[in-house]
Chain A
Amino acid sequence: MHQTAQQSLRQFAKANEIIDKHGPEPAHLINILQDIQEEYRYLPEEILFYVATAMDISPAKVFGVATFYEDFSLDPKGKYVIKVCDGTACHVKKSTEILDTLRRELALSEEKPTTNDMLFTVEVVSCIGACGLAPAIVINDKVYARVTPGLTVDLLNRIREDEASR
């Protein structure tokens, strides 16, 4: 993707603000990356290089941390991030069927988690700690309890309708 110089400058300004807020000490790297991900919705590569330079640590360190933790994503995510909980309780209550349904409906797979229109990303998370509500899914931080394959399809359709009417 071609970017104008002005666009990229604006991008780095936001990263700068975040680094200033926490301070450039290496101990704050995780907090900084969390805020950057919140702002950009993922960790863009050029921003990671920028963070390394600004904090005076090696890019390898920054990428090391960024790739170690599950929450960080180096790929852009869809507008709706659907997290399917596969904790023990959800697993024994057949969360796999929910995941299969979502992937089938959206033509996604483990290797391809985001739809081409960038609307949906489907992820598996280990446990959201809502085991009493199993099986549970989270769509953009809202927890849905006791979902079924049918309900999952309803939720997708509702989002699609919302988006279409926009």
Chain B
Amino acid sequence: MKIISMQDYNRLSDLCARALDNQQIKVLVSADTAGFAVGALEVYHKLHELIREQGLLADLDLHQQKTGIGLKKGGCFGCFEGGPLVNILPHDYLYQEVKEEDCAEIVQTTLIEGKPIERLLFKRDGVIYKSQDEIPYYKKQLKLVLGNCGKIDAESIEEYIAQGGYRGLAKCVYEMTPEQVCQTISDSKLRGRGGGGFPAGRKWESVRRQNADKKYVICNGDEGDPGAFMDRCIMEGDPHAVIEGMVIGGYASGANYGYIYVRAEYPLAVARLQKAINQAREYGFLGENILSTGFNFDLKISKGAGAFVCGEGSALQESIQGKRGVPRVRPPRTVERGLWEKPTLLNNVETFANVPYIILKGPEWFVSIGSPNNSGTKAFALAGNVRDSGLIEVPMGTTFGEVVFEIGGGVPDGRRFKAVQIGGPSGGCLTEAHLDLPIDFDSLDEVGAMMGSGGMVVIDDRSCMVEVARFFMSFTQKESCGKCVPCREGTKRMLEIMERIVDGKGSEDDLAILEDLSGTVRLGSLCGLGKSAANPILSTLRYFKDEYISHVREKKCPAGVCKKLSTYVIMAETCKGCAKCKKICPAQAIEGVVKNPFAIIQEKCVKCGVCLETCPFNAIREA
């Protein structure tokens, strides 16, 4: 059934909303990659079987008036702790760690009798939370672009339409000119969520102004930053929002074809997007003669093959064209000559997913959220040493402290907060002193970090910042495509120095060389990957210089992480002489006579730490 007019769309949207209302109770299972990893699919099938047995199951059906319980595969709920999660609406009960065995009770007690099951409800510090919205983790958040994630069936276009989905597209093609759409995006001050924060409206308008026989729209879903998973969650939880944003982008810029470049590590995102594309074609939101207006736009998913550099715009375009993903010299810019040498509109997943909302609610509404010049919200992947990790969304301008302590619940296990790493390998580390810093593009830039795509990894005092910097350097070095010398050779040399330092062979001169090299790599590299490669080192040098000094001067790792800098000793008074350590030591570095205290010969010790793990009496310690 293809939509041919606004009235037709309104009819469909009413039909979808009514069908959704017929599901008096809605049961959402957190069916995303994270949920699947902990058994969400098994829970879904069990619930399906049990609800059907009771004769209560009501699939979303536009033409039947059957009422009952709707069971859905929702996208990411946000919070990763305690999965699989089940959310039951309208009560808004959030059940955690649901197992197949719990399903019968859920059906009887909650779905039939309407009562909560206390033992499954979310608990924190002795408080039992009866509704998801009351939980501190969710309370501080503002979900716009993630509003549908976990709240609707991620595999149903009808549910998306019931929430106002594709109304933005209908409004564009029936009521607005391409110029007006570009102007709306400009007025909203939407900035690219992929890292750089370039004004999206300006990009759209540039592509629109190009005279060309063909233009393209590309959605960058190559979320390669280690520590980032916002785009995965959007693609898995609300794939239609991305598609709608892209079709609107096509209409506004005059493009008729688009690609979604998804990294190979996200098979579920690919599957959900493909399903969504097929559904959108059926209703005429995609394909030829969209909504019967004569506008053509179609989409293809292009699967990445595991190269971080392909997140860079020009490398990504090479990859779509079947080549090695190597960045090219600019100008010409992508908006002038991008994919197949044609003007190309390239934005990331989150940017496109914001578009339908801006069209529907207007640019003024969007500007009213966030901070000046940084309108809207930003999704972050909160992870690392934080109590509640997961996907979050906050208005721009929220402080780091609010995110880490109020939403994330602070650092667990009584450890001390040390740093937040933001922006992945191109970003930097921020310290306690930055907890009051508002999170937006400009503020981050000022302190030498960057938004990146939005990975936020909390680091506690058990991590060594020098080692963290080495880790990022090794990542960037491995992912350097090798095209330009400063990046290829510079990252290699920087990594060698970092390895020297964590191995206890560094000198203070090395720190000066690092800073110097960082400058060269930043100035001399062609693409963003190289230009920002030194950021993790520069920012840790800036804020954690004392840790570097300990490594090079005293040859000590204050956090006790750098193995080569630690010595293992057996405490004679605790050692029972069981010989377990001697047997397991791969370097034959432990000597002694059974039932007498053993000792480690330091010259032979390779510092693998196996003895420490093995000792049943905790008689070995790291000094």
Contact = CB atoms under 8 A, between A and B. Distances in A.
B278 interface: no
A14 B479 CA distance: 32
A145 interface: yes
Interface in A102-155: 125-134, 136, 141-145, 149
A72 interface: yes
Contacts of B325: 68-69
Contact of A88 (B34, B457, B608): B457
B229 A131 contact: yes
Contacts of A25: 322
B405 interface: no
A92 B459 contact: yes
B322 A89 contact: no
B475 to A, nearest CB: 6
A135 to B, nearest CB: 11
B549 interface: no
Given A129-B232, A133-B34, A88 B303 contact: no
Contacts of A70: 305-307
Interface stretch (B98-106, B193-201, B261-269, B497-505): B261-269
Interface residues of A, number: 41
Interface in A38-69: 64-65, 68-69
A126 B481 CA distance: 15
B322 A27 contact: yes
Contacts of A149: 613
Interface stretch (B88-96, B382-390, B538-546): B382-390
A131 B33 CA distance: 11
B384 A134 contact: yes
B227 interface: yes
A27 B341 CA distance: 14
B578 interface: no
Contacts of A129: 33, 223, 228-229, 232, 265-266
Contacts of A133: 34, 37-38, 80
Nearest to A72: B305
B431 to A, nearest CB: 16
Contact of A31 (B303, B472, B613): B303
A142 B36 CA distance: 8
A16 interface: no
B384 A89 contact: yes
Interface in B319-359: 319-326
28 contacts: A27-B320, A29-B323, A30-B303, A30-B305, A33-B305, A65-B322, A71-B264, A71-B305, A71-B306, A72-B305, A88-B383, A88-B384, A88-B457, A88-B471, A89-B226, A89-B384, A89-B389, A93-B385, A126-B308, A126-B479, A127-B225, A130-B33, A131-B229, A132-B391, A133-B80, A134-B383, A145-B34, A145-B37
Given A34-B264, A131-B384, A132-B389, 13 more contacts: A28-B322, A34-B305, A65-B322, A65-B323, A71-B306, A86-B226, A88-B421, A91-B471, A126-B224, A129-B33, A129-B228, A129-B265, A143-B36
Interface of A: 25-31, 33-34, 64-65, 68-72, 86-89, 91-93, 100, 125-134, 136, 141-145, 149
Interface of B: 33-34, 36-38, 79-81, 223-229, 232, 264-267, 303-308, 319-326, 381-385, 389-391, 421, 424, 455, 457, 459, 463, 468, 471-472, 475, 478-479, 481, 608, 613
